[in-house]
Amino acid sequence: MCGIQLQKVSKQFTEGHSSVTVLKEVSFTVNSGELIAIVGPSGSGKSTLLSMIGALLKPTSGIVSVNDQDLTTLNAKQLADFRLNEIGFILQSSNLIPYLSVYDQLILIKKMGGKFNKKDQQYAVEILTELGLGNKLTKMPNELSGGERQRVAIARALFNQPSIILADEPTASLDSNRAHEVVKLIASKVRKRKKAAIMVTHDERMLGYCDKVYYMEDGVLSIKNSVM
Ligand SMILES: Nc1ncnc2c1ncn2[C@@H]1O[C@H](COP(=O)(O)OP(=O)(O)OP(=O)(O)O)[C@@H](O)[C@H]1O
């Protein structure tokens, strides 16, 4: 199955003699073309969950599958490839590299990997144009508005054509209009390009753009409602 599947995923952190269970038997599915939201109080385990789906953390127990691949069976090199090829991260602040132009933010990683060709060049311009940044290709991050910076981050997340988009508080640094604009864009790209996407958010106004809303509390995930 394409998309994300979690089966009874738990995560414990151990420090010295004490351990804390941050996720408790979390199970859910996100299909391709679906954007789901996870809401819940600070410290409830939302970022830990995203980190596990993004192969940055391993579960203590349970199965995290992406596109039918059980991530717990992959070695370090395979996990690094998986992160690079299958996951697009969009974070709270856009995390752009200050000394690179808008265009270079997208192509740097491919250039470093020595796999850069004319098609990539065209695709970078196409996707930036689609996100309304066609006239900003040579601008530096400090010459952009917060909303524009976040749109570059979305373009960068989509550029590798990952199957999964993980967005952690993507609107936290934006005013209300820009927040709507950014989440609307994420939702439309997810549907058009058939990504499976998860957005962690504190912003209830963004939930209308999502197919499902889950609530996390004390490491337990439950369905909040269906908003479509
Ligand atoms: N590496 C770690 N070692 C120990 N405890 C950790 C570690 N990472 C996270 N935690 C704890 O796990 C719990 C869940 O953290 P997490 O960041 O997933 O919460 P969150 O719901 O994303 O919070 P917020 O909304 O504030 O970002 C917190 O109590 C946190 O202190």
Query: Is residue 18 one of the residues assigned to a domain?
Result: no
Q: Quote the ligand 1 centre to 47 CA distance (angstroms).
A: 7
CA of 164 to the centre of ligand 1 (A): 22
Element (H, E) at 108: helix 102-112
Q: How high is the ipTM of this complex?
A: 0.96
Q: What is the pTM of this model?
A: 0.91
Does 127 reside within a domain?
yes
Q: Is residue 22 part of a domain?
A: no
Q: 207-210 long-range CB contacts below 8 Å, 24 or more apart?
A: 207/37, 207/39, 209/35, 209/183, 209/184, 210/35, 210/36, 210/37
Number of other CB atoms surrounding residue 85 within 10 Å: 11
Q: Is residue 70 one of the residues assigned to a domain?
A: no
- Show pLDDT as tens, one digit a residue, over the chain (228 residues): 789 999 999 999 998 889 999 999 999 999 999 999 999 999 999 999 999 999 999 999 999 999 999 999 999 999 999 998 899 999 877 789 999 999 999 998 777 767 778 898 999 999 999 888 999 999 999 999 988 998 999 999 989 889 999 999 988 877 888 889 889 989 998 999 999 999 999 999 999 999 999 999 999 999 986 554
| pLDDT value for 174 | 78
Beta strand segments in 78-195, E:
87-90, 164-168
The whole-number pLDDT of residue 116 equals 76
The minimum-distance atom of ligand 1 relative to the CA of 20 is 5
Give residue 24 CA to ligand 1 midpoint distance, Å.
13
First-last CA distance in the chain:
23
> Is 36 domain-assigned?
yes
Q: What element of type H or E holds 130?
A: helix 118-130
Q: Whose CA is nearest to atom 31 of ligand 1?
A: 43
Q: For Cα atoms 218, 224, 228, give the angle at the middle one, nearest 5 degrees.
A: 150
Does residue 221 fall inside a structural domain?
yes
Structural domain contains residue 8: no
Total number of domains constituting the chain = 1
Probe target for ligand 1 pocket from 9, 44, 93, with the most ligand atoms within 8 Å of CB: 44
Helices (H) and strands (E) in the chain, counts: 6, 10
Domain span at residue 149 reads 31-58+75-226
Residues contacting ligand 1 via CB (< 6 Å): 13, 22, 40, 42-48
Q: Contacts for 127-136 with beta carbons within 8 Å, 24 or more apart?
A: 127/155, 127/158, 127/159, 128/102, 128/103, 128/152, 128/155, 131/155, 131/185, 133/102, 136/102
Structure tokens at 153: 């981050």
Residue 145 DSSP SS3: coil
Instruction: Name which residue sits closest to atom 12 of ligand 1, judged by CA.
Output: 22
* CATH code for position 86: 3.40.50.300
Q: How far is the CA of 167 from the centre of ligand 1 (A)?
A: 16
Q: Is residue 21 part of a domain?
A: no
